[in-house]
Structure 1
């Protein structure tokens, strides 16, 4: 079922969309989601947004450690691009495991941190996080459940951290 969904998404590829997806969701976001670190640092440096910056940076560190440092090795799921090597990739092939999608974890942990502090801006970051999750499917590097699992874990991390810092 998941591979069938990925195959449908692969049928959407075209040169224009491929280029947009690579520029926005690979180059701009960064190989390890560096856009969130940059946003967190900027907000950390502004006294009015200090708390939000801390939430983003700490949630990023937690999500990266939990997702990439612990869960990927425990779960050990092979990426779809390594199961079906006939699909041409438009991004660099990762050597790590597939589950959870750490890009999704980082995006949702950070986006929820923004949302918990600034609702209007947070809606934009949540939509952007969802698009990052979708990009992982478009790039054929994650299964849908990897992205959902990463998004849920990231949401929990961002939410809990913001609740802790609210006290």
Structure 2
């Protein structure tokens, strides 16, 4: 399997994954995992559950704010500036396990929303955050495995989501540290 015409890093990682990771179990599991990340639904559902309890309401709100900022910057701005075709569009004869998305590839929205939510959860609720990070990493990996994103798309999405999680978390902490008279 050779992916010519794309950056060497992307080609090497994609060749390795496509050659060594496909089997009946992964071919069944990764489409399900990627569906969990569709439109950030698993993370939105988690945030909505957190909103239902006074103790976790702030965390739920911060997850939603982080995801919104990540969505706007990644899906609405960056994807339309970069306009990178997906690998499944660049290599149309490649066999697919899921439907071919028709939007642009960079950055990965699944990875961005997953890491935005998972990093915020880790910063706020360490007990659940680590499990969320594992799920986020699996969802991100699924995008390369399923041939709908390049590895650099996934890395950029993960970095974007992580960046916004830290920014929102820091701004929230600074707001709490201000004396009442300064608000």
Unaligned 5+ residue runs, structure 1? none
Aligned to 2:38: 31
Aligned-pair distance for 1:132?
Answer: 1.2
CA RMSD of aligned residues (A): 1.2
Partners of 2:25 and 2:131 in 1: CA distance: 24
Measured against aligned partners, the alpha-carbon deviations of 1:65-90 in whole angstroms (never above 9, x if no partner) come to 11111100001111111111222111
Determine if the alignment matches structure 1 residue 18 to structure 2 residue 27.
yes
TM-score (normalised: structure 1): 0.93
Determine the structure 2 residue equivalent to 1:8: 16
- What's the offset of the Cα at 1:16? 2.1
Distance across 1 between alignment mates of 2:34 and 2:111:
13
Which structure has the larger Rg?
A: 2
User: SS of 1:33's equivalent?
Assistant: helix
Please report the TM-score for the alignment, with normalisation by the length of structure 2. 0.86
The answer to whether the 8 A contact 2:37-2:110 is kept is no
- Which runs of at least 4 in structure 1 moved beyond 3 Å after TM superposition? none
Rounded Cα–Cα distance in structure 1 between residues aligned with 2:16 and 2:92: 16
Q: 1:68 aligns with which of 56, 71, 75?
A: 75
| Corresponding residue of 1:119 | 126
Whole-Å separation in 2 of the counterparts to 1:90 and 1:64: 25
Distance 1:65 1:9 in 2: 30
Spell out, residue by residue over 1:68-123, the C-alpha distance to the aligned partner (whole angstroms, 9 max, x if none). 11100001111111111222111111111100011111001000110111123211
